Amino acid sequence: MLGQVVASGLAMGAIYALVALGYAFVWRTMNIVNFAAGEFLTFAAFIFVATFVNRLGLPFYLAAIFACVAMASLGAAFSRIVFARLQKERTIVAIIATVGFGLFLKEMARIIYGPQPLLNTGPFGFETINVGGISVTKQQLLVFAVVIVVMVLQYLVLRYTMIGKVMRAVAQDRETAQLMGIPVNAVLAGTFAYASVLSAIGGILLAPMFFVTTELGTLVGLKGFVAMIIGGFGSIPGAIIGGLILGLGENLAAFSISAPYKDAIAFVLLLVFLLVRPKGLIPEASADRA
């Protein structure tokens, strides 16, 4: 029983880590907090289930690719149309813009797809597999596999490709990068698009595990933000560690205390970390730049 709780907690922690990574990337490159991350997750889940799977009848993996492309386009459009016009404004203005865009996405999901929850069983349904005496759903294993692949690919791209070097240059010094001829606005749009894809992957992976509703991503987005703070504000490795700790911690605490307190436990953990280690586990100054 405890093993299943741990496995479930780590699976949710991996989702939180994806969302936290998106927060960290946007913060380090654009110097804003994207509070629309949870709503990007929600909108992606609706597009994936209602449009590409139910309406068009696409298989799970092809529908997932199309949903990610759609959300990347939406994220890039937001960056070029809205954020590019707010760069000279105070940071708080851009942050408020992300909040407003998040509310817009949530209401658009409600208007387009309706208030009724949607269910998608995914490629495996509710099948389980025994791993070391622990019963784990195949969907949870898919979550682990996808998150590991995403993180490995992200590391390789950032470290060993020209795109990665350009992104790191913009993250370190935007003005100097622009003087060097780097198309900063295009890089920022790409960063926001990538963060949107991370949220979209989270929504796609969550869709077979929960009912898809307009509130699906609200708490997940907030917990992704909490995970980034726990790991270290803006820290890439910290976001991953923070997500896993949060998912595991809230599941173990809910198992030990009471399930109805599960969501509250996440924010208790946040308060504890703010009091004991306010800079997080891996502070940004000591973390690798994005």
Q: Reply yes or no on whether the pLDDT at 266 is more than 50.
A: yes
Average pLDDT over residues 11-40: 90
CATH code of the region 2-286: 1.10.3470
pLDDT of 286: 43
pLDDT of 84: 79
Share of the chain above pLDDT 70, in %: 97
Average pLDDT over residues 284-290: 47
Average pLDDT over residues 66-82: 93
Contact at 8 Å (CB) between 4 and 11? no
pLDDT tens, 165-194?
888 888 777 788 888 888 888 888 999 999
Three state DSSP letters for the chain: CHHHHHHHHHHHHHHHHHHHHHHHHHHHHHCCCCCCHHHHHHHHHHHHHHHHHHHCCCCHHHHHHHHHHHHHHHHHHHHHHHHHHHCCCCHHHHHHHHHHHHHHHHHHHHHHHCCCCECCCCCCCCCEEEECCEEEEHHHHHHHHHHHHHHHHHHHHHHHCHHHHHHHHHHHCHHHHHHCCCCHHHHHHHHHHHHHHHHHHHHHHHCCCCCECCCHHHHHHHHHHHHHHHHCCCCHHHHHHHHHHHHHHHHHHHHHCCHHHHHHHHHHHHHHHHHHCCCCCCCHHHCCCC
Share of the chain above pLDDT 90, in %: 44
pLDDT tens, 30-49?
888 899 999 999 999 999 99
Q: Reply yes or no on whether the pLDDT at 196 is more than 70.
A: yes
pLDDT of 284: 65
Amino acid at 285: A
pLDDT of 290: 40
**Radius of gyration in angstroms for the set of CA atoms belonging to the chain, rounded to a whole number:** 19
Q: Reply yes or no on whether the pLDDT at 89 is more than 80.
A: no
Q: Reply yes or no on whether the pLDDT at 77 is more than 90.
A: yes
Q: Please give the distance of CA 287 from its chain centroid, rounded to a whole number.
A: 19
Average pLDDT over residues 84-89: 77
Taken as a whole, the chain contains a residue count of 290
CA dist., res. 242 & res. 123, Å (int): 29
CA dist., res. 266 & res. 244, Å (int): 12
Average pLDDT over residues 56-66: 94
pLDDT, averaged across the chain: 87
pLDDT of 288: 44
Using pLDDT thresholds of 50, 70 and 90, give the confidence band for residue 281.
Answer: confident
Query: What pTM was computed for the model?
Result: 0.90
Average pLDDT over residues 41-70: 95
Contact at 8 Å (CB) between 20 and 224? yes
For 42-56, 62-76, 257-271, which range has the lowest pLDDT when averaged over its residues?
A: 257-271
pLDDT tens, 103-162?
999 999 999 998 889 988 888 877 888 877 778 888 889 999 999 999 888 888 888 888
